[in-house]
Amino acid sequence: MKSPLSIAAVVAALTMALPAAAQFAKPEDAIKYRQSGMSLMAAHFGRLGAMANGKVPFDANAAAENAEVVAFVSKLPFSGFVEGSDKGNTKAKPEIWSEPDKFRAGARNMQGEAVKLSLVAKGGNLDRIKAAFGETAKTCKGCHDTYRAQ
């Protein structure tokens, strides 16, 4: 249990401290940063999804690693939604900045589910992974529907 707990602790620490530490010289740097984080999450979450949906054979180690990456990287992108980064090469909707508390709550919800998913994935039970994957996917969709332009 050492590794999962430590990862959860790291993730918790990142959640608290990173936004304050985040610094971007230009709004476009912040946009690139958050998009990079979202891209990495999408790639690894997608690999989990392929296993959860039976499109590729289940590999417990790969599932655990992919979930670990999702949980870790999930903490990063949100520091990139800085003031002034609502214009340019972005699908971010104005609601992110007009209802920041709701947006942050959605992000924290996703981060929590991602940590749960990573803990479940270490257990290696495909049915439990499928369930946790589904719960996490809902939290992605929840924010994307509201805060990301199509």
Cα separation, 58 vs 42, whole angstroms = 18
Minimum distance between the CB of residue 65 and its own copies, rounded to whole angstroms?
6
Give the nearer residue to its own copies in terms of CB position, either 38 or 96.
38
Looking at beta carbons only, is 60 or 146 nearer to its own copies? 60
Q: Give least dist CB 96 to its own copies, A.
A: 20
Q: With respect to its own copies, which residue has the nearer C-beta, 61 or 98? A: 61
Contact residues for its own copies, defined by CB under 8 A: 2-3, 6-7, 9-10, 13-14, 17-18, 20-21, 23-24, 29, 32-33, 35-37, 39-40, 43, 47, 50, 56, 59, 61-62, 65-66, 68-69, 72-73, 76
Both structure tokens of 81: 């939604």
CB 75 within 8 A of CB 11: yes
Cα–chain-centroid distance for residue 128?
Answer: 19
Cβ 61 to its own copies, closest distance in Å? Answer: 6
Residue 148 forms beta bridges with which residues? Answer: 92
- With H, G, I as helix, E, B as strand and everything else as coil, classify residue 148: strand
What minimum distance in Å lies between the beta carbon of 103 and its own copies?
Answer: 21
CB 120 within 8 A of CB 42: no
Residue placing its CB nearer to its own copies in the complex, 83 or 101:
83
Residue ranges of alpha helices (H) inside the chain are: 2-21, 27-52, 60-73, 95-98, 100-123, 126-147
